[in-house]
């Protein structure tokens, strides 16, 4: 079967790679920049902006694609699934209306409140700069200010940690008041991704991402510097009871969308804060996480092409998505200065990476050389029977790269995991 993959990052390289493990599947790609990894897998590539839905649909028809798999959120918001399905091409990814679970933070919170879905923090949505500013002015304690729309994971401001009251007010004014303001949650974050076919939800291993740019979780928020998962597909600071609650929250969200007549299919990504009171929803995403897709897809032993077919048919069950009982550690290399003032155009040289999978992201091939661009460059995923083994594989590959790139050495280390587990114990 022919599958069109939309998107050109590390996540989409992992998606294309997993689809292509079925030797009968032919991959086609639409991406903004030529990702060398996807380029090597795809039979044909269209270079175009991922939000140009009419060009994407035309390319899908021209190549005879049977299905499409949408990687990033921007094309979902642009309605690419609506257009592809209008042209008879079933897609993995929600329609524009169903993708509002991610693309409109006010919609997401209101849905959780109206449907009494557990795990919703106290929140208020605003539409006026004066009202939002007045609310912050008169509020005691910490707050989180979030623009309602997409920000690539970089739009949140935490008052009490990153900004003070005056800065929070200035920020919400810069958004024209179009924001969700909510309580600040304290705890440990985890990612739960699931395949969803409209009614059935099949979970994938838990992953923890690292948003902050620098070691020790300091510096600005990024798209994600790396992530890890454990052989039992759980995390030590998430109990079975927490896990069941998180799954229940995701299932309730899917059921609520169905009741609204906006059936959700694709990948649902739940970003949770595990608090003293259990898991709370930081946000839902309407797609795989990047980097988290690289962790779980590197472990997937089932046929992703069949999962695509089953998601679009509505016949997915847990037996269709099985994962190897191993640990993964993903480390992203990013350009110097990333994310605030990334330096692009630098050649990098890769060393040996015998014990890690390589996923390309925002990097160009210029002859035999690789040249950085402004976003995350490439990632290594180590896999092992233990976290230590997986971490060693990823770390030795990442540190063998030379050029103006850097990575976080602490991701996937036992020390970091123990710090997080101790933090959770302290909260409880």
- Distance from CA of residue 389 to its chain's centroid? 24
Residue 149 interacts, among ligand GLY, ligand AMP, none and using kind-specific CB cut-offs from 5 to 8 Å, with none
Residue list 218-247, contact with ligand GLY (CB under 6 A): 224
209 interacts with ligand GLY by CB under 6 A: yes
HSE-CB of 35 using CA atoms within 13 angstroms: 33
CB of 289 vs ligand GLY, minimal distance in Å: 4
The mark string for 162-201 relative to ligand AMP (x by CB under 6 A, - otherwise) is --------------------x-xx---x------------
- Starting at the edge strand found earlier in the chain, the sheet holding 369-372 runs 347-348, 369-372, 363-366
Assess contact for 224 and 312: CB atoms under 8 A: no
144 interacts with ligand AMP by CB under 6 A: yes
Residue 221 interacts, among ligand GLY, ligand AMP, none and using kind-specific CB cut-offs from 5 to 8 Å, with ligand AMP
Identify which of 340, 330, 360, 339 has the alpha carbon closest to the alpha carbon of residue 348.
360
Assess contact for 329 and 393: CB atoms under 8 A: yes
- Distance from CA of residue 285 to its chain's centroid? 7
Q: How many residues bind ligand AMP (CB under 6 A)?
A: 15
The mark string for 377-396 relative to ligand AMP (x by CB under 6 A, - otherwise) is --------------------
2 interacts with ligand AMP by CB under 6 A: no
Please name the residues in contact with 297: beta carbons below 8 A apart, sequence gap of 6 or more: 14, 15, 17, 18, 288, 304
134 interacts with ligand AMP by CB under 6 A: no
Residue 290 interacts, among ligand AMP, ligand GLY, none and using kind-specific CB cut-offs from 5 to 8 Å, with ligand GLY
What are the beta bridge partners of residue 269? 193, 285
Please name the residues in contact with 395: beta carbons below 8 A apart, sequence gap of 6 or more: 329, 331, 382, 409, 412
CB of 380 vs ligand AMP, minimal distance in Å: 22
Closer to ligand GLY by Cβ: residue 81 or 286: 286
292 interacts with ligand GLY by CB under 6 A: yes
What are the beta bridge partners of residue 163? 159
355 interacts with ligand AMP by CB under 6 A: no
Residues that bind ligand GLY (CB under 6 A): 153, 209, 224, 285, 289-292
């Amino acid at each position: 079967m022919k599958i069109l993959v939309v998107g050109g990052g590390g996540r989409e390289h992992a998606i294309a790679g997993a689809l292509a493990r079925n030797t009968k599947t032919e991959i086609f790609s639409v991406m903004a920049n030529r990702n060398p990894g996807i380029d090597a897998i795809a039979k044909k590539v269209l270079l175009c902006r991922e939000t140009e839905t009419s060009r994407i649909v035309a390319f899908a028809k021209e190549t005879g694609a049977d299905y499409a798999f949408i990687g990033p959120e921007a094309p979902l918001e642009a309605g690419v699934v609506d257009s592809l399905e209008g042209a008879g091409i079933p897609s993995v990814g929600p329609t524009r209306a169903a993708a509002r679970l991610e693309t409109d933070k006010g919609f997401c919170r209101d849905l959780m409140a109206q449907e009494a879905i557990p795990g919703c923090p106290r929140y208020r949505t605003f539409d006026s700069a004066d009202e939002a500013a007045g609310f912050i002015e008169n509020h005691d304690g910490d707050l989180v200010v979030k623009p309602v729309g997409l920000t690539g994971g970089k739009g949140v401001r935490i008052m009490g940690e990153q900004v003070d009251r005056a800065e929070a007010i200035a920020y919400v004014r810069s958004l024209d008041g179009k924001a969700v303001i909510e309580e600040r949650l304290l705890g440990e974050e985890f990612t739960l991704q699931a395949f969803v076919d409209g009614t059935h939800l099949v979970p994938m291993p838990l992953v923890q991402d690292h948003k902050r740019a620098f070691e020790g979780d300091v510096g600005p928020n990024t798209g994600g510097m790396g992530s890890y998962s454990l052989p039992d597909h759980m995390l030590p600071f998430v109990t079975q009871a927490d896990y069941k609650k998180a799954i229940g929250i995701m299932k309730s969200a899917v059921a609520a969308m169905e009741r609204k007549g906006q059936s959700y299919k694709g990948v649902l990504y739940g970003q949770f804060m595990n608090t003293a009171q259990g898991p709370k929803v930081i946000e839902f995403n309407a797609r795989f996480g990047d980097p988290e897709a690289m962790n779980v897809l590197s472990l997937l032993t089932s046929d992703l092409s069949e999962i695509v077919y089953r998601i679009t048919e509505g016949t997915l069950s847990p037996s269709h998505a099985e994962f190897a009982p191993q640990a993964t550690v993903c480390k992203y290399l990013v350009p110097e200065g990333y994310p605030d003032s990334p330096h692009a155009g630098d050649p990098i040289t890769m060393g040996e990476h015998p014990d890690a999978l390589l996923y390309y992201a925002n990097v160009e091939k210029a002859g035999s050389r690789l040249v950085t661009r402004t976003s995350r460059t490439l990632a290594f995923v180590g896999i092992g029977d233990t976290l230590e083994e997986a971490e060693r594989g990823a770390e030795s590959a990442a540190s063998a790269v030379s050029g103006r790139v850097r990575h976080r050495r602490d991701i996937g280390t036992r020390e970091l995991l123990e710090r997080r587990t101790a933090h959770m114990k302290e909260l409880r």
